[in-house]
């Protein structure tokens, strides 16, 4: 495996993310996401952002964009 290839487990661990196979994710507990069954495929899990999840995601996106701009543009 080269330095740009990662397993799902490695990505989850590196991001302190939750393994969806083991209970509710922190975002779900906080009301940012919902999980449900996908019509026609009981094996699949459909994950959707709630309105507060979308607001939080937008805030995170803006914060990261601003940070990236300051880091690479010197502001």
Q: pTM of the full predicted structure?
A: 0.57
Q: What is the pLDDT of residues 39-66, one digit of tens each?
A: 888 777 777 888 998 999 899 999 999 9
Q: How many domains does the structure of the chain reveal? A: 1
Residue ranges making up the domain that contains 41: 22-73
Chain mean pLDDT for the chain: 76
Confidence band (pLDDT; 50, 70, 90) for 7?
A: low
Q: What is the pLDDT of residue 59?
A: 93
15 domain residue, yes or no = no
Q: Which residues contact 37 (CB under 8 A, 6 or more apart)?
A: 44, 45, 46
The CA-based angle 14-11-16, given to 5 degrees, is 40
Q: What is the pLDDT of residues 66-75, one digit of tens each?
A: 999 999 997 6
Chain-centroid distance, C-alpha 65: 16
């Amino acid at each position: 495996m080269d330095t740009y290839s990662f397993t799902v487990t490695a990505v989850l661990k590196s991001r302190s993310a939750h393994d969806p196979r083991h209970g509710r994710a922190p975002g779900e507990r906080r009301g940012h996401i919902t999980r449900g069954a996908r019509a026609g495929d009981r094996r699949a899990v459909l994950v959707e952002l709630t309105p507060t999840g979308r607001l939080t995601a937008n805030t995170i996106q803006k914060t990261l964009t601003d940070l990236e701009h300051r880091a690479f543009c010197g502001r």
